């Protein structure tokens, strides 16, 4: 998008209070303008045709038709990037699967601090969504699980970082991996509460043991630890195992959890025993950390442009020489398998 052009946003929510809160908040940013508001998906369709918004902000739960069904009907006919707003339901992951670019958590309307944080997060995600010009590339539905047992050296570990579009990308990779894979640690930029829901979803829909990380958890074979949505995560080597440490601190690269915080600890603690993977996302978080891993002897993989929802983080990593192997999302499990062999 031309930087001189404002990002036109359509807000869809049945709550007058919330529509006004969103509209007032995002209009405060000089790069964003409200194109229209709508109270339900049927009205939203008319506003889309009339105003041609660059981004739609839409509630998951609405009368007449919920946000998920709205996405399923809208996107095949008229692509527009959609950022969902959710009050804390795991339905948000269905919305992402249906084609939404990203989501934010509804704030506590009684808390000024909560509303302020929500507005800043929403503005950031609207800007990221505005860069998405075509429908999200659809990988073949969860690649077939890699056949056979994955053998690997003692002390092996896999670290993954992702942001915009990352929940589906991570799901597709983990769905292809058998439980003999080395321990995996993941930072996905995601709101608190949703990180636990995301871990539970992956735990039930893959062959791996997935949980939201807590300090003291070990990233053992077949185990995946997801950083909490409001805490950094790093690892510490204990013998041939890796222990997670989760802690609150200032944002790094604008994020908590930060991919760089995790990758820096993996470079230090695992060195050449690690594999780092940087997936779709806006910005540059994780690029320097991935370079640090590669310099310490780790093998590194970056998602390619064609399969990324937003080719930001993996592009920066590729440009600075942090990416050893670049691959499409559906090809990453096989690259990983080859490296582990």
Write down the catalytic residue from 29, 121, 285, 304.
Answer: 285
Query: How many angstroms from the chain centroid is the CA of residue 41?
Result: 25
Q: Give the β-pairing of 325-327 and 299-303.
A: parallel
Reported as half-sphere exposure (CB side, CA atoms, 13 A), residue 149 has a value of 4
Neighbour-count burial of 189, counting CB atoms closer than 10 A to its CB (0-12 exposed, 13-18 middle, 19+ buried):
buried
Place of tokens 């600075």: 320
Write down the catalytic residue from 13, 54, 121, 189.
Answer: 189
Contact call for residues 257 and 229 (beta carbons, < 8 A): yes
Q: Which helix (H) or strand (E) holds 135?
A: none
Write down the catalytic residue from 86, 163, 175, 308.
Answer: 163
Contact call for residues 117 and 107 (beta carbons, < 8 A): yes
Taking CA atoms, 129 is separated from 57, 71, 75, 101, 221, in Å, by 10, 15, 14, 6, 36
First to last CA, the chain: 43
189 carries an active-site annotation: yes
Six token digits for residue 36: 């229209």
Considering Cα of 316, then 318, then 322, then 328, what sign does the dihedral take? positive
Taking CA atoms, 226 is separated from 82, 130, 157, 237, 257, in Å, by 25, 27, 14, 18, 10
Contact call for residues 198 and 93 (beta carbons, < 8 A): yes
Peptide bond before residue 286 is cis, with ω within 30 degrees of 0: no
Six token digits for residue 17: 């209070």
Alpha carbon distance 52, 80 (integer Å): 9
163 carries an active-site annotation: yes
State the catalytic residues. Answer: 163, 189, 285
């Amino acid at each position: 998008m031309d930087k001189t052009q404002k990002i036109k946003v359509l807000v869809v929510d049945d709550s007058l209070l919330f529509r006004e809160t969103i509209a007032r908040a995002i209009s405060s940013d000089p790069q964003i303008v409200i194109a229209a508001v709508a109270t339900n998906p049927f009205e939203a369709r008319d506003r889309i045709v009339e105003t041609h918004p660059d981004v739609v902000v839409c509630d998951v739960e609405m009368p007449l038709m919920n946000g998920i069904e709205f996405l399923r009907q809208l996107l095949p006919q008229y692509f527009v990037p959609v950022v969902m707003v959710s009050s804390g339901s795991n339905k948000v992951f269905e919305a992402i699967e249906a084609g939404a670019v990203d989501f934010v958590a509804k704030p506590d309307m009684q808390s000024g601090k909560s509303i302020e944080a929500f507005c800043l997060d929403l503005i950031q995600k609207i800007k990221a969504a505005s860069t998405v010009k075509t429908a999200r590339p659809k990988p073949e539905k969860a690649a077939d699980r890699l056949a056979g047992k994955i053998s690997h050296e003692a002390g092996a570990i896999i670290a993954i970082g992702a942001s915009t579009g990352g929940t589906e990308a991570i799901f597709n990779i983990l769905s292809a991996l058998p439980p003999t894979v080395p321990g995996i640690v993941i930072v996905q930029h995601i709101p608190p509460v949703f990180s636990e829901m995301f871990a539970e979803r992956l735990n039930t829909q893959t062959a791996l043991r997935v949980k939201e990380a807590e300090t003291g958890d070990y990233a053992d074979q077949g185990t995946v630890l997801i950083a909490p949505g409001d805490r950094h995560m790093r690892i510490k080597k204990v013998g041939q195992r890796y222990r997670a440490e989760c802690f609150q601190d200032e944002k790094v690269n604008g994020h908590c959890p930060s991919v760089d915080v995790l990758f820096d600890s993996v470079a230090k603690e695992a060195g050449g025993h690690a594999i780092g993977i940087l997936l779709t996302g806006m910005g540059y978080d994780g690029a320097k950390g991935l370079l640090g891993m590669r310099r310490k002897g780790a093998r590194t993989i970056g998602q390619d442009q064609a399969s990324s929802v937003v080719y930001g983080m993996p592009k920066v990593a590729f440009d600075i020489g942090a990416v050893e192997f670049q691959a499409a999302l559906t090809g990453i499990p096989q690259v990983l398998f080859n490296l582990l062999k």
